[in-house]
Amino acid sequence: DIQMTQSPSSVSAFVGDRVTITCRATQDISRWLAWYQQKPGKAPKLLVYSATTLQGGVPSRFSGSGSGTDFTLTISSLQPEDFATYYCQQANSFPVTFGQGTRLEIK
Amino acid sequence: EVQLVESGGGLVQPGGSLRLSCAASGFTFSTYAMSWVRQAPGKGLEWVSGISDSGFSTHYADSVKGRFTISRDNSKNTLYLQMNSLRAEDTAVYYCAKRRCSNGVCSTILRGASEDWGQGTLVTVSS
């Protein structure tokens, strides 16, 4: 199985800060990586798919990069509504796997 | 508007069974691959199972293989998850999720992402 490791596991930041979350796969997954945002008590929301493509309606301050085994999600200028938990997910091979999550907290 | 509504969750004893349903509307259900994803209390997301548009192809996480069965009834626009031999560690909120089409491909789980999710249904396995 492909393991997905996110770092950091948690991060504190100020509104307006730039934040980068990384996700590393144990095998080459090409560009078959997605990023999700989840707020407490809510279902996950798709932010980025195919590693770099922003889902419709997602603000342009979010961006994804990477291919192969190393990926990043960047939020260029944090807004209050961005404080949530973020997950990466690979869909290159079964079983589909998620990273353990990165909790983004307000400082 | 896409709607996914899960039902069937509840309290069940270890070793028991439960069937979850996910009623879909607002899209052509029969042309989309679907998944079940769960989240234990206070924990991260775990992909459980996926099924192709026709139902012909199914896949499972190692943790549920042999105990859970995913299926769909395209005539009823409904996705199912039959859960047998339940364990305490199966306690979680279970979400159904619809695949996002990429380059016209909607029918398989791989090389895609889940763009629509239900609200989830809680399964508690406890004596």
Q: Kindly determine whether residue B109 and residue A99, on different chains, have CB atoms separated by under 8 Å.
A: no
Nearest to A91 among B46, B111, B117 (CB): B111
**How confident is the model at residue A90, as a pLDDT?**
97
**How confident is the model at residue B9, as a pLDDT?**
97
Beta-bridged to residue A86, according to DSSP, are: A37, A102
Which position has the token pair 């400082």?
A107
Query: Within an 8 Å CB–CB cutoff, is residue B110 touching chain A?
Result: yes
Tokens of B11: 């309290």
Question: What percent of chain A stands above pLDDT 90?
Answer: 98
The closest of A59, A52, A38 to A103, measured between CA atoms, is A38
Pairing of strands B10-12, B121-125: parallel
**How confident is the model at residue A22, as a pLDDT?**
98
Beta-bridged to residue A85, according to DSSP, are: A38, A103
| Angular region, B63: left φ>0, alpha ψ -120 to 50, beta rest | alpha
Whether the ω angle into residue A59 lies within 30 degrees of 0, i.e. cis, is: no
Kindly report, residue by residue over A65-107, the tens digit of the pLDDT: 999 999 999 999 999 999 999 999 999 999 999 999 999 998 8
**How confident is the model at residue B110, as a pLDDT?**
87
Q: How many CA atoms within 13 Å lie on the side-chain side of A96?
A: 30
Tokens of B70: 């995913």
**How confident is the model at residue B115, as a pLDDT?**
96
Query: Within an 8 Å CB–CB cutoff, is residue A67 touching chain B?
Result: no
Q: What is the DSSP string of B53-101?
A: SSS--EEE-TTTTTTEEEEEETTTTEEEEEE-S--GGG-EEEEEEEEPP
Cβ neighbours of residue A18 closer than 8 Å, sequence gap 6 or more:
A74, A75, A76, A77, A78
Kindly report, residue by residue over B16-27, the tens digit of the pLDDT: 999 999 999 999
